[in-house]
Amino acid sequence: MKKFMLDLTVKENIPLENRYFLLKLTSNDRLPEMLPGQFAEVRVDDAPTVFLRRPVSIHYVDYVNNELWLLIQIVGGGTRKLSGLRAGNTLNLLFPLGNTFKLDTGKNSRIMLIGGGAGIAPLLFLGAYLKERGCQCNFLLGARTKKDLLQLHEFEKYGEVYTTTEDASHGEKGYVTQHSILNGTHFDIIYTCGPTPMMKAVAQYAEAGDIYCEASLENTMACGIGACLCCVTDTKDEGHVCVCTGGPVFNTKRLKW
């Protein structure tokens, strides 16, 4: 897929709970084709502590309104700067980058998308994509508290949503891998994105049940296009592989994590 460097216009910047914000970007031209799992390298200008672009998952693409959504949590100087963007501001993106989730799932597969924290971001686009192609999706979203569960109303448009919180403020108490839905139902495919310990636990669950499982990784990254070799993850079959081009989505069986 052809990659682009484009100046997009901020249509809306919606502050969400717990230091998250939702950026809706648009362009006068039709946005290029993007697929679930891919990401953008966002340029952060005029922030003294920021030098490199920030890799951000594509949260959702609204082709009707020509919008690209990014769900971002403020974690440092770069994301803080981005949180201050206002409607009408310009943001420079390199996109779409990286590979995609497995998209040919078969219509009758039982599909579970498991996300935690900011890792829920790419799962919305994936769920919407799969639903449009007649697949039934389930979402299992975990967070510390109810406040950290974001965009639930969006996920509900594309499938059943199950939740866990560590303080029992929403859904079942505990971690995603402790949710009862994983005990009672067999899934054919699991997609996961979130904190590494969570994804590892999900991968173990999948492995034990012989379930096909993909995880979307987030490593520190410089170029985003496979040139600098900084963002590698170690794999069983090919050694060090760039997360930006060989990933960010990996079959969890390949990973040496």
The answer to whether 99 contacts another protein (rule: CB under 8 A) is no
- Which residue, 174 or 226, has its beta carbon nearer to another protein? 226
Q: Which of 19, 146, 232, 253 binds another protein (CB under 8 A)?
A: 232
The answer to whether 228 contacts another protein (rule: CB under 8 A) is yes
Q: Do residues 129 and 36 lie in contact, with contact meaning Cβ atoms separated by under 8 Å?
A: yes
The answer to whether 52 contacts another protein (rule: CB under 8 A) is yes
The answer to whether 48 contacts another protein (rule: CB under 8 A) is yes
The answer to whether 239 contacts another protein (rule: CB under 8 A) is yes
Strands (E), the chain: 4-15, 20-26, 39-42, 54-57, 60-62, 67-73, 90-97, 111-116, 137-143, 159-165, 172-173, 189-193, 212-216, 232-235, 239-242, 249-251
Stretch of residues binding another protein (CB under 8 A), selected from 2-10, 12-20, 22-30, 126-134: 2-10
H-only helix segments in the chain: 77-83, 121-132, 152-155, 181-184, 196-208
The answer to whether 219 contacts another protein (rule: CB under 8 A) is yes
Round the CA-based radius of gyration of the chain to a whole number and report it.
17
Q: Which of 74, 85, 181, 230 binds another protein (CB under 8 A)?
A: 230
Quote the CA–CA distance of 89 and 50 in Å, as a whole number.
19
CB of 45 to another protein, least distance (A): 10
Q: Which residues of 118-137 are buried (b: 16+ CB within 10 A; e: fewer)?
A: bbbbbbbbbbbbbeeeebeb
The answer to whether 195 contacts another protein (rule: CB under 8 A) is no
Q: Which of 146, 225, 251, 253 binds another protein (CB under 8 A)?
A: 225
Quote the CA–CA distance of 163 and 124 in Å, as a whole number.
15
The answer to whether 75 contacts another protein (rule: CB under 8 A) is no
- Which residue, 182 or 217, has its beta carbon nearer to another protein? 217
Tell me which H or E stretch contains 254: none
Stretch of residues binding another protein (CB under 8 A), selected from 63-71, 98-106, 157-165, 215-223: 215-223
CB of 227 to another protein, least distance (A): 4
Interface contacts to another protein, rule CB under 8 A: 2-5, 43, 48-53, 94, 219-234, 239-240
